[in-house]
Amino acid sequence: MIYGAPVTETPVRPADPETIASAGVILREGGLVAMPTETVYGLAADGLNPAAVARIFAAKGRPADNPLILHLSEAGELEGIVERPPQLAFELAAAFWPGPLTLVLRRRDVVPAIVSAGLATVAVRVPAHPVARAIIRACGRPLAAPSANRSGRPSPTLAAHVAADLDGRIAMIVDGGPTEHGIESTVLDLSELGPRGGSGASGEKGGDAPLLLRQGAITREALAAKIGAVRDAHGEALARSPGLRHRHYAPRAKVELVEPAMLQRRSRELAGDGLRLGVIDGGPGQGEDPQLSGVSWLRLGSTSQEYARSLFAALRTLDELSVERILAVTVPELGIGRALMDRLRRAALG
């Protein structure tokens, strides 16, 4: 097979040893494979092969200035791709890897510039999903793997979501079932810390705490409990994180955020205007309004964690139902609620 050529139909395979071995072959030969992680499905390519990485951008329609995350099978591979990691990187790896924490560090020359959008840094993590790590081992190389969706669309949390966006564009989809978190990794920038930077230590340049670039499945509270304070990133520093510079998570319908107390009133107003309405009701919501008919009302659980896990799937479901407006309930910005509200705001920007 010529992996740069169009694929007429992308096979979806169960995550068994035969499939994992086949995925490794495809990746070593420069092809693209969608694989499950504990956050969302990722679109993987050999992260040290510039031509293979370029196929990720082409398949997704991803802007070239949006960096990718390199996925490793274990933390011991870190020093092969980053330059002089600070002590804090090893402390965080011991605490949170495998898991949904991405660290931004200074990259070695072995990492192609295309992976990092030409920056001197690289984003890296060890995923917790056993299938993802098995595929990385089968390839024998770090895998560049952004979310396996068309750029700007809601991230995929099921193999079917990947097929809806990328069928015919990639060589294989490995079906590992629903993802655990349903929301992407937290991104923490350590690139401004000196090599001795550690918990409570002052970096040699740029401050005494790492920069939080993206809220994700690891909460700010969990980070603070382990390493103390983190700083919020602003301005140019945000460019070092994947997924922050362009339109993201947007369904076709316009998304409007609404506080729980105003949900039923706003639903009646929009339904009264004749709009085909979808409602995403998560957290401690009030439940469906019995006075409304013809409204697609999706109840996503009673906690922010359940809401986050199901958000992207709910946006895709409402797209399939051809609603014209989506009302999404807000949640308190505590714990995973910070990451959830970030995704909701980005979806509402369209």
pTM for this one?
0.91
- At a CB cut-off of 8 Å and minimum separation 6, what does 181 contact? 38, 39, 40, 100, 217, 308, 309
- pLDDT score recorded for residue 305: 94
> Within 10 A of 224 (CB to CB), how many other CB atoms are there?
12
- pLDDT score recorded for residue 202: 37
- pLDDT score recorded for residue 240: 80
- pLDDT score recorded for residue 225: 94
Q: What are phi and psi of 109, to 5 degrees?
A: -65, -20
Average pLDDT over the chain, rounded to an integer: 90
Q: Are strands 42-46 and 143-144 parallel, antiparallel or unpaired?
A: antiparallel
What domains, with CATH codes, occur in the chain?
1-245 (3.90.870.10), 254-349 (3.40.50.11030)
What is the amino acid identity at position 326? I
Contact yes or no for 235/215 (Cβ under 8 A): no
The segments of the chain whose pLDDT lies below 70 read 1-8, 194-207, 243-248, 283-291, 350
- pLDDT score recorded for residue 272: 87
In angstroms, the CA 164 to CA 167 distance is 6
Report pLDDT digits (tens) over 41-62.
999 999 999 999 999 999 999 9
- pLDDT score recorded for residue 248: 67
- pLDDT score recorded for residue 55: 98
